[in-house]
């Protein structure tokens, strides 16, 4: 109940944030722009629309997750709004979880709107829609949830600006972890252990990327999907727990 | 169980060390404060800016963890939800979710206490009229002035009908009318049987409102007790006399008794600092057939005590340095 009202309040806060609408409009423009870009290519129209569409959804969703996510907690501390919440019978982890769920709700709704834009473009261009597209969208949302948890974790102990930089770094590295491993295997000794350690600790965000499957109309087996989902949820849960532990020990000065 | 005799707030040897700056220099913000607040009283927590009032209150509310010492609310250790459920808290110069209207804002806080639906709406209406904000119930908080925010903040602190209300600097930044309203509100809370603890550096307010006060300076508790007792311990009793038609030779006899003599044409004002001097001066006035216009005892105030303690602390620090 308490978590739910904090989530709802966070959702309301997000809805009244202008940043959200700016990003959403840009995303829809990007998806729409694939129609113009289509004129420049020969054949492969479908792939282009799907590629640009899913790419924009992912990119702008991540921007929202990071730039709204980092403010979730640090803004509350800076503006001292947290004083009145923590002094009520609300546990700190409940506050954190509520904030997280509120932004997740915002992201799900945003993704739905962007997906509707993409579907509209696909419909008008008579592109056949396969089930794998929705699976890919689901995985994109899961990636957002992991990124949001990363942003939330950083914002429990550092400033908004630093959190943004850290989270962005994790996002970029998270998509390159396979390369990290490949690099590591070419190395010896300590360098190898460090890179392999990073491979296992950092989120493997590329696992959530099913864009290739969509453009090539390759279905993903349910078992694989389940594994990816389990990985995403477990990773998110771990990050949230870590964030709660740090947040619990913090002084609000 | 004897609920009445038990203190509602109990602070024992509370200490807080902050680490500041890059090297983590240790700064003692609160240094061994112990005090108790009894049920039904208005308790003033006084001290100059930066004395450690807010830090102590934040420790009570579970916003900051004490380095040493313990504190309890309603017999529960700080941070315990069942203790917090009976407390209302207004932080210093509060900031709230400025995208919410005051109604939405109060509804949000009501949910934390399991208040719902019409019961909550009714409570919100009561509170908005109590703090005189009914007219602005659908306005977003970012359009509010400081005084309006303070009132909504007080409404927020009272949403759960708390037994104990803790207000951190409730009068700071308010105009005289706003301050009077807050004072009235505190008295109304006391009348309805609530315990109020508030911090302030405005001593006049404290003197008007408080049953007991604690004074804190540089993190240390320097005085704690009933206002009247604290003032009674003060020895600076002065009496001001205004006399008409006092002949020059009579004036000469009074002058040695007085600490200060001011001549205003026909009128003389003298300040006497002991009961004996007052008796002797009255004798002179009677025998010289002068007219006593006014006799005003200057009561010692909390301010005198405050300034004396502040000077004491400063000279102690100065002695340590030199």
The sheet carrying B76-77 orders its strands as B25-37, B9-20, B68-73, B76-77
Considering A29-38, B65-74, B176-185, B283-292, the range whose residues carry the highest mean pLDDT is: B65-74
pLDDT at res. B1? 46
Could you give the residue ranges of the DSSP H alpha helices within B160-224?
176-191, 203-209
Which residues, 6+ apart, have CB-to-CB distance to A215 below 8 Å? A46, A47, A50, A51
Instruction: Note whether B100 contacts A12, CB cutoff 8 Å.
Output: yes
pLDDT band at B316 (very low <50, low <70, confident <90, very high): low
* Separation of alpha carbons B133 and B145, rounded Å: 12
- Residue in chain A lying closest to B78 (CA): A87
CA dihedral over B175, B180, B182, B183, signed as positive or negative = positive
Across the strands, what pairs with A35? none
Listed by start position, the domains of chain B span 9-230, 236-299
Q: Are B108 and A1 in contact (CB < 8 Å)?
A: no
Give this complex's ipTM. Answer: 0.81
Q: Looking at chain B, which runs of residues are DSSP E strands?
A: 9-20, 25-37, 42-46, 68-73, 76-77, 87-90, 164-168, 195-200, 212-217, 220-226, 238-244, 260-264, 267-272, 291-298
For the entire predicted model, the pTM comes to: 0.84
- Between A and B, how many residue pairs show a Cβ–Cβ distance under 8 A? 72
Query: Where does residue B93 fall: left (phi above 0), alpha (psi -120 to 50 degrees), or beta otherwise?
Result: left
How many Å lie between the alpha carbon of A91 and the closest alpha carbon of chain B? Answer: 8
Q: What is the pLDDT of residue A215?
A: 84
Chain A's closest residue to B56, CA to CA, is: A253
Cβ-Cβ contacts under 8 Å, B56 against chain A: none
DSSP letter, residue B47 = -
Average pLDDT over residues B84-107: 87
For the ranges A4-18, A65-79, B71-85, B304-318, the lowest mean pLDDT is seen at B304-318
Interchain contact B145–A (C-beta under 8 A): no
Domain ranges across chain A: 2-248
List CB contacts (< 8 A) between B113 and chain A: 88-89
Q: In whole angstroms, what is the distance from residue A217 CA to residue A129 CA?
A: 9
The neighbour count for residue B15, using CB atoms within 10 Å, is: 16
Q: What are the residues facing B33 on neighbouring strands?
A: B14
Of B49 and B74, the structure prediction assigns the larger pLDDT to B74
Q: For A215-244, write each residue's pLDDT tens digit.
A: 888 888 989 999 999 999 999 999 999 999
High-pLDDT (> 90) share of chain B, %? 35
Q: What is the pLDDT of residue A95?
A: 94
pLDDT at B322: 42
Across chain B, mean pLDDT equals: 86
Backbone angles phi, psi at B268, to 5 degrees: -125, 135
CATH class for the domain made up of B236-299: alpha beta
Q: What is the pLDDT of residue A17?
A: 81
- From the candidates B16, B30, B58, B93, which should be mutated to test the interface with A, based on the most A CB atoms within 10 A? B58
pLDDT single digits (tens) B27-39: 889 998 999 999 9
**Which of A65-74, B60-69, B296-305 bottoms out in mean pLDDT, i.e. has the lowest?**
B296-305
Residue B73 pLDDT: 92
- A216 close contact with B: CB closer than 8 A: no
pLDDT at B321: 46
Provide mean pLDDT across the span A118-124: 90
Cα–Cα dist B78/B63, whole Å: 10
Give the closest residue to B34 by CA, choosing from B59, B11, B2.
Answer: B11
pLDDT confidence tier of residue B204, bands split at 50, 70 and 90: confident
Q: For residue B298, is pLDDT > 50?
A: yes
Confidence category of residue B317, pLDDT binned at 50, 70, 90: low
Domain B9-230 CATH assignment equals 3.40.50.300: yes
The three-state secondary structure class of A116 is helix
Strand B87-90 and strand B164-168: the pairing is parallel
Q: How far is CA A189 from CA A79, A193, A201, B94, in A?
A: 48, 7, 18, 55
B33 closest CA partner among B75, B63, B62, B71: B71
pLDDT bucket at B233, cuts 50 / 70 / 90:
low
Backbone conformation region of residue B116, classed left if phi is above 0, alpha if psi is from -120 to 50, else beta? beta
Query: Does residue A151 carry a pLDDT above 70?
Result: yes
How far apart, in whole angstroms, are the C-alpha atoms of residue B139 and residue A132? 47
């Amino acid at each position: 109940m308490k978590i739910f009202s904090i989530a709802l309040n966070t959702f309301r806060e997000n809805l009244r944030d202008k940043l959200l609408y700016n990003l959403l409009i840009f995303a829809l423009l990007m998806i729409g722009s694939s129609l113009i870009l289509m004129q420049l290519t020969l054949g492969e129209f479908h792939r282009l629309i799907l590629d640009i569409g899913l790419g924009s959804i992912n990119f702008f969703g991540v921007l929202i997750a990071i730039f709204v996510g980092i403010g979730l907690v640090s803004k509350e501390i800076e503006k001292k709004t947290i004083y009145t919440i923590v002094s009520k019978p609300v546990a700190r982890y409940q506050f954190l979880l509520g904030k997280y769920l509120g932004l997740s709700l915002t992201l799900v709704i945003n993704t739905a709107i962007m997906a509707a834009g993409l579907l509209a473009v696909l419909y008008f261009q008579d592109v056949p829609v396969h089930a794998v597209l929705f699976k890919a969208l689901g995985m994109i949302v899961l990636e957002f949830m992991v990124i949001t948890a990363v942003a939330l974790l950083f914002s429990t102990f550092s400033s908004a600006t630093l959190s943004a930089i850290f989270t962005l770094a994790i996002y970029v590295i998270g998509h390159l972890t396979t390369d990290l491993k490949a690099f590591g295997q070419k190395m010896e000794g300590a360098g190898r252990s460090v890179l392999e350690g990073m491979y296992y600790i950092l989120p493997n965000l590329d696992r959530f990327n099913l864009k290739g499957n969509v453009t090539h109309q390759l279905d993903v087996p349910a078992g694989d999907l389940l594994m990816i989902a389990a990985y995403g949820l477990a990773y998110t849960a771990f990050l949230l727990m870590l964030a709660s532990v740090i947040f619990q020990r913090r002084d609000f000065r | 169980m004897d609920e009445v005799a038990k203190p509602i707030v109990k602070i024992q040897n509370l200490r807080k060390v902050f680490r500041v700056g890059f090297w983590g220099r240790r700064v003692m913000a609160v240094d061994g404060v112990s005090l108790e607040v009894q049920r039904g009283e208005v308790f003033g927590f006084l001290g100059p800016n930066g004395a450690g009032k807010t830090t102590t209150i934040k420790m009570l509310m579970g916003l900051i963890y004490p380095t040493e010492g313990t504190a309890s609310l309603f017999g529960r250790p700080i941070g315990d939800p069942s203790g917090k459920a009976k407390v209302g808290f207004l932080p210093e110069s509060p900031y709230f979710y400025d995208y919410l209207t005051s109604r939405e804002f109060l509804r949000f806080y009501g949910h934390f206490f399991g208040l719902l639906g019409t019961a909550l709406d009714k409570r919100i209406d009561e509170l908005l009229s109590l703090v005189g904000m009914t007219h602005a119930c659908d306005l977003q908080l970012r359009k509010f002035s400081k005084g309006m925010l303070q009132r909504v903040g007080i409404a927020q602190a009272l949403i759960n009908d708390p037994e104990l209300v803790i207000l951190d600097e409730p009068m700071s930044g308010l105009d005289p009318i706003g301050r009077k309203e807050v004072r009235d509100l505190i008295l109304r809370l006391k009348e309805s049987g609530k315990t109020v603890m508030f911090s302030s550096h405005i001593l006049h307010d404290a003197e008007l409102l408080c049953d007991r006060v604690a004074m804190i300076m540089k993190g240390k508790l320097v005085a704690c007790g009933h206002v009247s007792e604290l003032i009674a311990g003060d020895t600076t009793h002065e009496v001001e006399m205004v006399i008409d038609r006092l002949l020059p030779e009579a004036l000469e006899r009074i002058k040695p008794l007085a600490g200060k003599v001011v001549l205003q044409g026909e009128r003389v004002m003298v300040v006497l600092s002991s009961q004996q001097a007052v008796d002797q001066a009255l004798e002179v006035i009677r025998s010289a057939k002068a007219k006593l216009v006014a006799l005003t005892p200057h009561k010692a105030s909390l301010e005198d005590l405050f300034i004396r303690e502040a000077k004491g602390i400063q000279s102690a620090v100065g002695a340590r340095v030199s």
